[in-house]
């Protein structure tokens, strides 16, 4: 898609254990020697909504239709009714990447004053013959209101967008799309073969000003990821980037839920849950 911006063999891994005063190992944070270095963590440090079953559900969403049709998206688009696998795990000559998300009004919905809230964005990549996972992006997002067709990359500031303490609140015009990505910007990919990407984020709807309850289901949210030629490449009408995949659109409700997309095998996603991931040192 368009859009802006942004281990070695197991017996060669070198673990430096963090030892507590009682001499016990803290298994949540291990220094690991790899292409990325950094800290080794488990997924339960990210979100209370993460379960193995939920991750597999997200990973399999790529093979299901959207929960509803998005308003403003041309019916002829190959991702209008359901998700689309683009380049997938075939990196080609691209050297950088970014995860992203997009939100649409559900087709036929009446005007609503509800706001959307997004937090806890994370972008993982599985790589190498050992099929290890690394966290390349996390945290605060930025975004713009786009024409829902994304024609000519036309965009402007959303009607309302504010981020406080990692929580982003947004309202955008009916019939348009809110497209967002990590403020961190594009990141370099591992030099070894890619065996999957996984984007996860949390979202909910909240009542607008003066309202006590949210309206009917208004918003559809989905995630995706792009390959970029270089980490500092700018969008140039698809000459500098290509989409990895465009994810399934699902309704956002008033309770926090986990959303995302995956292009890995279910076995690799199980490994992400069971074994954890490496945190790339530049990720704060």
- Please report whether residue 31 resides in a domain: no
**pTM score, whole prediction:** 0.86
Structure confidence at residue 18 as a pLDDT band (50, 70, 90): very low
Asked if pLDDT for residue 9 goes beyond 60, the answer is no
State yes or no: pLDDT of 212 exceeds 90. Answer: no
Beta bridge partners of 231: none
pLDDT of residue 125: 97
What is the pLDDT averaged over residues 243-257? Answer: 97
Q: What is the mean pLDDT of residues 124-152?
A: 95
In a domain, 187, yes or no: yes
Residue 35, in any domain of the structure: no
Show the domain range for 77. 44-278
Q: Across the chain, what does the average pLDDT equal?
A: 86
In a domain, 223, yes or no: yes
User: What is the pLDDT, as a whole number, of residue 222?
Assistant: 98
Number of domains the chain contains = 1
The answer to the question of residue 232 being in a domain is yes
Residue 169 lies in a domain: yes
Tell me the pLDDT tens digit for each residue of 83-125: 999 999 999 999 999 999 999 999 998 778 899 999 999 999 9
In a domain, 268, yes or no: yes
56-83 as b/e, with b when 16 or more CB fall inside 10 Å? eebbebbeeebebbbbbbeeeeebeebb
């Amino acid at each position: 898609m368009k859009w802006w911006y942004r281990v070695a063999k197991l017996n060669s891994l070198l673990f430096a254990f963090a030892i507590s005063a009682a001499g016990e190992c803290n298994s949540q944070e291990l220094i690991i020697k790899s292409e990325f270095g950094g800290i080794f963590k488990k997924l339960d440090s990210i979100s209370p909504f993460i379960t193995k079953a939920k991750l597999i559900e997200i990973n399999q969403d790529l093979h299901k239709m959207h929960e509803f049709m998005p308003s403003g998206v041309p019916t002829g688009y190959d991702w209008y009714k359901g998700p689309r696998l683009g380049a997938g795990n075939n990196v080609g000559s691209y050297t950088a990447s970014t995860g992203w998300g997009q939100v649409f009004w559900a087709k036929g919905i009446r005007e609503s004053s509800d706001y959307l809230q997004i937090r806890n964005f994370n972008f993982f990549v599985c790589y190498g013959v050992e099929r290890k996972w690394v966290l390349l992006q996390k945290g605060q997002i930025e975004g713009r209101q786009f024409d829902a067709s994304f024609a000519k990359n036309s965009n402007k500031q959303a009607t309302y967008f504010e981020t406080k303490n990692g929580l982003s609140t947004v309202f955008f015009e009916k019939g348009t799309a809110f497209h967002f990505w990590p403020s961190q910007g594009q990141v370099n990919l591992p030099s070894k073969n890619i065996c999957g990407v996984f984007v996860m984020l949390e979202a909910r709807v909240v009542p607008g000003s003066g309202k006590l309850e949210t309206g009917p289901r208004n918003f559809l949210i989905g995630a995706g990821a792009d390959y970029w030629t270089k980490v500092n490449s700018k969008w140039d009408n698809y000459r500098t980037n290509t989409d990895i995949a465009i994810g399934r659109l699902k309704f956002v409700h008033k309770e926090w839920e986990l959303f995302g997309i995956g292009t890995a095998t279910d076995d690799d996603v199980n490994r992400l849950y069971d074994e954890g991931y490496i945190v790339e040192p530049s990720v704060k």
